[in-house]
Amino acid sequence: MSDLWRLLLLLLATATIGLLTGHTLAFVSIGLLIYIFWLRKRIEELRDCLRDRNPANEDAFTGVLYDILAEFDRVRRHHHDRDKKLLAQLKRFQIAAMAIPDAVVLLGKHGSIDWANHRAGEYLGIQWPRDDGQRISNLLRAPELSRLIQNPPSAQSDDRLEMALSHNRDRYLEFRVVPYGNDQRLLVARDVTEIRQTSNMRRDFIANASHELRTPLTVIAGYLESIENDEDTTPVSAWKQIIGKMRTHTLRMQRLIDDLLKLSSLESVRSGEHREEVAVSELLSSIFNEAKVLSGDEEHIFYLETDTRLWLKGDQQGLYSAFSNLVFNAVQYTPARGVIRIRWHENDRGACMEVIDSGEGIATEHIPRLTERFYRVDKGRSRDQGGTGLGLAIVKHALANHGATLEIDSQPGKGSRFSCQFTKARLVRKQAPDEASISA
């Protein structure tokens, strides 16, 4: 029976008794009270039924209460289905994440382990769920890695760390940390042992071959020089020309071998290995003087603007290689009486060493490839000027060893700007007697 009919029947019955007894209002009120109490009891029964989910009681309800129960059941079934689907999805995701060939660790606040896949056990010794909630810094004692986890790179930058962990020195891992959600991090470790071995083999081969070539070349160059200079053995003019050419080419080969050796030695340096404090201003002023000599009678106009208080934590030799290559390139690729400006100054990202020239410039399509070994815009021109095609590759490696980057801006016919950008972490501020020095 519907609730409305039940109520109407009750009101009719109580009103009839009221009319017969002459107390209509009193009987109707009593009837309504009885209905309210009955309804309250039914609602309590409904609550108990919903709470216990006792299906035996479900048939005991009719009307609106039955509708409420049916609606509740529908919503509950919907949630149940959704939970099942989510659980299945989560399981699928976990199986997929477990199958990833790299180690994956999800880190919560303060670097606590939220989840890890099987590979994390093999590579990092992190076992899931045994290490749930443990701080990763307690399990992997590597300060560089802790630093990377605490200060992960921004989404734009691509900062990776390559190292072997103390428990397995033979396996080289490349670590990446990706921040996500609310102060959470995703740590991914990839095994790069084979890639590293191949690149080490290539580097060692080039270094060994260059070493082997160096000695015979020095001997040949020496003999050629003595033949050319020795009064007694001064060759006839036809030979003189040939010997002159042989000397030029031998010198070129020597320069090439020197650059190859420099490049392999820069490649074998681990980033952050050198931590001496380098007086960049002094280094630049000696390069500045060498550049003036190299310019010779080309009469380039040089400017040197340096902040003498700014020093760098790094490797003096590596920085010399990087800066001198950029400055000497500017001399080589800037016509006579062109302007060459060398700057060393602080900026919002750290500090920057710039070489700006008013030379021939470089077309945009060449710029991304300039730091590749042996890449030249004009091969013949570079060779004629004594270039090896390795200068900018040396610059790139020397800078990478200092966590620095090379930025190139250039416009054909207008000139070029090569900027070496160093991070704040590498800077050392010294008390300087004089402010920024400017020389010309």
Q: Which residues contact ligand ADP by CB under 6 A?
A: 325, 329-330, 333, 357, 359-360, 362, 370, 376-378, 382, 387-392, 416
For residues 343 and 376, which CB has a smaller minimum distance to ligand ADP in the complex? 376
Nearest approach, Cβ of residue 263 and ligand ADP (Å): 11
Q: How far apart are CA 14 and CA 32, in angstroms?
A: 9
Terminal Cα-to-Cα distance of the chain (whole angstroms):
106
Nearest approach, Cβ of residue 323 and ligand ADP (Å): 13
Q: How far apart are CA 169 and CA 166, in angstroms?
A: 6
Nearest approach, Cβ of residue 339 and ligand ADP (Å): 12
For residues 183 and 378, which CB has a smaller minimum distance to ligand ADP in the complex? 378
For residues 392 and 404, which CB has a smaller minimum distance to ligand ADP in the complex? 392
For residues 381 and 430, which CB has a smaller minimum distance to ligand ADP in the complex? 381
For residues 189 and 393, which CB has a smaller minimum distance to ligand ADP in the complex? 393
Nearest approach, Cβ of residue 255 and ligand ADP (Å): 9
Q: How far apart are CA 302 and CA 289, in angstroms?
A: 10
Nearest approach, Cβ of residue 87 and ligand ADP (Å): 58
Q: How far apart are CA 177 and CA 147, in angstroms?
A: 11
Nearest approach, Cβ of residue 376 and ligand ADP (Å): 3
For residues 123 and 333, which CB has a smaller minimum distance to ligand ADP in the complex? 333
For residues 295 and 388, which CB has a smaller minimum distance to ligand ADP in the complex? 388
Nearest approach, Cβ of residue 261 and ligand ADP (Å): 15
Q: Would you tell me how many other CB atoms lie within 10 Å of the CB of residue 326?
A: 24
Q: How far apart are CA 335 and CA 354, in angstroms?
A: 19
Using an 8 Å Cβ cutoff, are 437 and 308 in contact?
yes
Nearest approach, Cβ of residue 142 and ligand ADP (Å): 35
For residue 438, count CB atoms less than 10 angstroms from its CB and return exposed for 0-12, middle for 13-18, buried for 19 or more.
Answer: exposed
For residues 329 and 401, which CB has a smaller minimum distance to ligand ADP in the complex? 329
Nearest approach, Cβ of residue 363 and ligand ADP (Å): 10
Structure tokens at 408: 């190139």
Nearest approach, Cβ of residue 130 and ligand ADP (Å): 52
For residues 31 and 361, which CB has a smaller minimum distance to ligand ADP in the complex? 361
